Chains A and B, each alone.
Chain A
């Protein structure tokens, strides 16, 4: 456990080295939010600047299927989208759950084609190959994440595969010519007490979730975070991808603070998936041959 804690400190130091402000001072003095279950949570903590402090080890609900019943909302009304849920008999077998895939999101023709065709078992599994899951699937993962934050940035330290994601909140501009990437690049800003993170620049190789819901390079992922009390974050994710979906859609989830002595732990995907890949139990992922068609 000391080793795991050391990893967090090391990560925080590395992050702080790239920032103009003292991130360590923020992350090394967490607010007294490891309150007990059954006792009042208390108000959300704030940074000295007055911004809400999202720091902490958070349990995010495992979301392998972002289109699960009644979870797909219209961002404008926050009411469930009306979708046909028609069975798609010509689709590949479902990766999550049983039964055939359905018209469970507002697909475009392009998006529907990719939803029906997703087949990691036979066509290569990028996640099983331990390649980056992408911003959406990182947040969907079941193992939680540590957030460290100061007034100029926020770092999401995912336990899943020990990945990190860096989000400037100080109007920093990413280089316009950065190559497209698995996780994309994010910027954050505050609207009242809500942090809004917008992520673009995806290479299109990932899926939104384990079920395999598609996205294109045009994806803009909008995640919001509102710490409603010391132990709770209300998180929303909105998918804006006009190539894959005819309209925006969203999920709303509740995160819970993990109480001490729970800590973030190391997670090495390769540890035994390497053997699965070499034995053929998991088919290795390869980049799509036709870039325009697949992304």
Chain B
């Protein structure tokens, strides 16, 4: 949550946020996949990296999906559905449904679905052109309460 605590210095908050980010990254390396195995859906032998534009963010439980329009290996424009973390966890880290504007250019790296016909991508890393990682760890400017 974007919490401001009275009498709490910004510098300390920032340090705590960074510490929190480190802890979150260690504890939840693949997002909070609380109850289904990513091995069930995504193929570790099918890594994929692509650049495209944001079409939509589906802010849903238990995982958000970011729809990214990009060209596939054959040059055909497709819409990948990129699995993210749990929306409530992301909310507490300062992320919102509109944190990523429609049309933003992003680069995605992750794993393709085992289902050949699916355009889902899991265990994904989404970064903007300036290298900012999206929907992972504390949002830019987010100040953790503890």
Contacts and interface: CB of A to CB of B under 8 A. Distances in A.
A194 B69 CA distance: 55
Contact of A210 (B35, B60, B86): B35
B58 interface: yes
15 contacts: A36-B5, A37-B16, A121-B40, A127-B36, A137-B35, A141-B35, A143-B88, A159-B88, A160-B34, A262-B145, A265-B91, A267-B62, A272-B60, A272-B63, A279-B115
Contact of A281 (B32, B60, B89, B115): B115
A65 B77 CA distance: 41
Given A143-B86, A259-B145, A260-B3, A133 B28 contact: no
A38 interface: yes
Given A142-B32, A210-B34, A120 B40 contact: yes
A133 B62 CA distance: 14
A281 B3 contact: no
Nearest to A256: B146
Contacts of B146: 37, 256, 259
A175 to B, nearest CB: 30
A25 B52 CA distance: 53
B8 A37 contact: yes
A141 B115 contact: no
Interface of B: 1, 3, 5-8, 12, 16, 27-28, 32, 34-37, 39-41, 58, 60-63, 65, 86, 88-89, 91-92, 113, 115, 118, 120, 145-146
Instruction: Specify the main secondary structure of chain A where it touches its partner.
Output: loop
Contacts of A267: 61-62, 86, 88
A39 interface: yes
A282 B92 CA distance: 27
Interface of A: 36-39, 62, 64, 93, 95, 120-121, 125, 127-128, 133, 137, 141-143, 159-160, 210, 256, 258-262, 265, 267-269, 271-273, 276, 279-283
Sorted from nearest, which 10 A-B pairs have the closest CB atoms?
A127-B35, A128-B36, A36-B5, A121-B40, A37-B146, A271-B60, A281-B41, A259-B145, A262-B1, A272-B60
Given A36-B6, A143-B89, A62 B35 contact: no
